[in-house]
Amino acid sequence: MHWIYLLLAVVALAIAFKAASLALMGLCLLAALGLLVAWALGFLAQRVGSRTRDEAALIDPQELRRLREEAEARRAQAPPTEPPAT
């Protein structure tokens, strides 16, 4: 949808270049600027939206508890290491 704003901004710029009236040229330039800003915001919103995490992929509390218990069991089985001497 946001690509339509870019297309309309280009059309508004083309009309501004061909306009004989100063008022029409100013109006088209303002419209082109507004449409260009709308395109940029839409483009950025799509980029941010595509990078969000899927909430279904988050770890539930039971799975997190199981992973913690496994890590604690591995630590308990591993031989203790001495801290480095200074």
For residues 41 and 52, the model is more confident at: 41
Phi-psi region of 63 (alpha: psi -120 to 50; beta: other; left: phi over 0): alpha
Whether 35 is in a domain gets the answer yes
Q: What is the pLDDT of residue 55?
A: 67
Q: What is the pLDDT of residue 84?
A: 67
Q: Is the pLDDT of residue 30 over 70?
A: yes
Q: Which two tokens stand for residue 32?
A: 């082109």
Whether 84 is in a domain gets the answer no
Whether 61 is in a domain gets the answer no
Range of the domain at 27: 1-51
Q: Which two tokens stand for residue 22?
A: 């100063």
Whether 7 is in a domain gets the answer yes
Q: What is the pLDDT of residue 52?
A: 74
How many other CB atoms are found less than 10 A from the CB of residue 5? 19
pTM of the predicted structure, to 2 decimals: 0.60
> Taking residues 52-75, what's their average pLDDT?
84
Q: Which two tokens stand for residue 61?
A: 């509390």
Total of domains in the chain: 1
